[in-house]
Structure 1
Amino acid sequence: MPPQPQSISDWFESEVRVNEPSLRAYLKHKVPEGTEVDDILQETYAKIISIQRTKPILSPRGLLFTIAKNLIRDLFRKKYSSKIISLGEIDDSSVFNLEHTAVPEFAQTDEVEILQAAIRSLPKKCRVIFLLRNYERLSYKQIAERLGISVKTVEAQLAIGIKRCRKFFEAKGIINESR
């Protein structure tokens, strides 16, 4: 007599659920911070059951870990990939506003206004890169990824920004031209 086909729930209990402790331990060490292991576990189970319904799985344990690994990879991709934005989409006020920084009230004087004016005088691309670097403290690579430009462009635009701010300050008599 040929063996009776196993129900999905019997198959799940005997072939999949038995791997839960090792899968749970694997997930605890692999998922991005702030992600619930149970959420990944449930999604992994849903996918493997869906596959089992369409065709027999020869190695449930191997497929279980492969599905979990792919889900984690997708999570990292979503969580850590920066959205590339164009310079036209950037609102300068959302990038930088000195009025909302930790500058003490007594320092909100001419120097702050001159600094704001110097930054506003930069070309838009240069200004955005300058602000992302100096006020949001992003790395050159992070800026390049966010804006969809090369690291070399970030470096060049920062150099331009520094030179232009220096000229602006020289014109206002804040620093000497001796440098």
Structure 2
Amino acid sequence: MIQSLPTILPPQAIQPHRILQSDNLDELFQRVINDDYSSFEKIFKNNYKSLCTYACHVVKSHELAEEIVDDVFCNLWKNRKKIQITSSFRAYLLTSIRNKSLDCLRKMKHEKNAMLESAATVPCKQSIAYETLFYEELNGRIEAAIQGLPRQCRTIFLMSRDQDLKYKEIAELLNISIKTVDTQMGRALKYLRKSISPAVSS
């Protein structure tokens, strides 16, 4: 779990005997610029393990550290003609590894936060089961309340709900006035609200 960016291992903490001298690195890099692949391989082989150790102190993962160093060297060869060295090639290598490692940590943190946000929007199985049970119970109360309505009142309510008939159509089918339909529907709704209100409020 990444809480914050870890303390970065300073360049001097890398074992000096396992890294070429700056002068040699600078000289080799000049050859790399001139498309000398053997010099590139020499830089890679002599510094790979030390740079992986440095990256691992940042990202806390040997596998990820190796990916980071591989990426840095791939970009080094790909962009060899464009790279501008302001101090030394050794400093450039270490800075590149450090920045790539920090970018990986930020990406991992962002992805984790995105996953947590997505997970928070997904209802758990227990919540779904509870809601299903609640609505099943509520529907049972409604149906029981409907059965408790007077016959004509129940008939009018069901014709309106289940057949989606308008008051005028119900009145014509039952040979009663529209006013009667309206009154009976009002009574039905009032009775149902009163019958199911304890379940809704609980």
Q: Check whether TM > 0.5.
A: no
TM-score normalised over the length of structure 2 = 0.32
TM-score normalised over the length of structure 1 = 0.35
By percentage of residues, which structure has more helix?
2
